[in-house]
Amino acid sequence: MSTQAYEITPKDKNFIGWHLAVAIIALAIGSLFGPLQAFEHAGWDLYKYLNPLIKSYYQGLTLHGVLNALVWTTFFITGFLTFTVIYGFKRPLKYPTLNLIGFLLMVVGLVLAAIPILLNEATVLFTFYPPMKANWAFYVGLTLVVVGSWVEGWGFFYTYAAWRKENPGVRTPFIAFGSIITMLLWQIATIGIAVDMLTMLIPWSLGLLPGVDPQLSRTYFWFTGHPLVYFWLLPAYISWYAMLPKQVGGKMFSDSLARFAFWLFLILSVPLGFHHQYVDPGVPPAWKFIHAMLTFSVFFPSMLTAFTVVASLEYGARQNGGKGMFGWMRALPWSNPSVAAQLLAGLLFFFGGIGGLANASYNVNLVLHNTAFVPGHFHLTVGTGVTLTFIGISYWLIPYLTGKKLWQPKWAVAQAWLWFVGMIIFSNSMHILGLLGAPRRTPLNLAPYIPAEWNSRLFQVGIGGAILFVSGAIYLTVVAATFWSKQPATEKVEVPVAEALQDPALGPAWLDRWTPWVVATLALIVLAYGPMLFDLIKNIALTSPGFRVW
Partner 1 sequence: MAKKNSNDEFRPQGTVAILVIFVITLVVLWGSIYLILLGRGGTV
Whether 378 is a known active-site residue: answer: yes
Shorter beta-carbon distance to partner 1: residue 212 or 430: 430
Which chain residues interact with partner 1 by CB under 8 A?
Answer: 251, 253, 303, 306-307, 310-311, 314-315, 318-319, 321, 323-326, 328-329, 350, 353-354, 357-358, 361, 363-364, 366-368, 435, 501-502
DSSP helix/strand/coil, 447: coil
Whether 449 is a known active-site residue: answer: no
Shorter beta-carbon distance to partner 1: residue 217 or 305: 305
Of 377, 420, 426, 431, the catalytic one is 377
- Smallest separation, CB 390 to partner 1 (Å): 23
Shorter beta-carbon distance to partner 1: residue 251 or 457: 251
- Smallest separation, CB 328 to partner 1 (Å): 6
Rg (CA), the chain: 23
Instruction: Answer whether 421's CB lies under 8 Å from 467's CB.
Output: yes
Whether 441 is a known active-site residue: answer: yes
Of 218, 259, 440, 457, the catalytic one is 440
Task: Return the bridge partners of 439, or none.
Answer: 371
DSSP helix/strand/coil, 356: helix
Instruction: Answer whether 223's CB lies under 8 Å from 244's CB.
Output: no
Of 19, 41, 218, 226, the catalytic one is 226
Q: How far apart are CA 393 and CA 387, in angstroms?
A: 10
- Smallest separation, CB 349 to partner 1 (Å): 11
Whether 253 is a known active-site residue: answer: no
What SS3 string covers 94-133?
A: CCHHHHHHHHHHHHHHHHHHHHHHHCCCCCCCCCCCCCEC
Q: How far apart are CA 131 and CA 384, in angstroms?
A: 31
Task: Return the bridge partners of 128, or none.
Answer: none
Shorter beta-carbon distance to partner 1: residue 195 or 436: 436
Whether 440 is a known active-site residue: answer: yes
- Smallest separation, CB 242 to partner 1 (Å): 17
Of 379, 400, 426, 457, the catalytic one is 379
Shorter beta-carbon distance to partner 1: residue 66 or 348: 348
530: how many CB neighbours lie within 10 A of its CB?
A: 12
DSSP helix/strand/coil, 518: helix
DSSP string, 208-274: SSS-B-HHHHHHHHHHHHHHHHHHHHHHHHHHHHHTHHHHTT--BS-HHHHHHHHHHHHHHSSTTGG
Of 80, 230, 262, 395, the catalytic one is 230
- Smallest separation, CB 501 to partner 1 (Å): 5
- Smallest separation, CB 348 to partner 1 (Å): 13
C-alpha dihedral (17, 21, 22, 25), degrees to nearest 10: 170
Report CA-CA distances (Å) from 407 to 8, 79, 152, 342, 388: 23, 22, 31, 18, 18
Whether 226 is a known active-site residue: answer: yes
Instruction: Answer whether 257's CB lies under 8 Å from 308's CB.
Output: yes
Shorter beta-carbon distance to partner 1: residue 130 or 507: 507
Shorter beta-carbon distance to partner 1: residue 141 or 504: 504
- Smallest separation, CB 324 to partner 1 (Å): 7
* Catalytic residue IDs: 226, 230, 377-379, 440-441
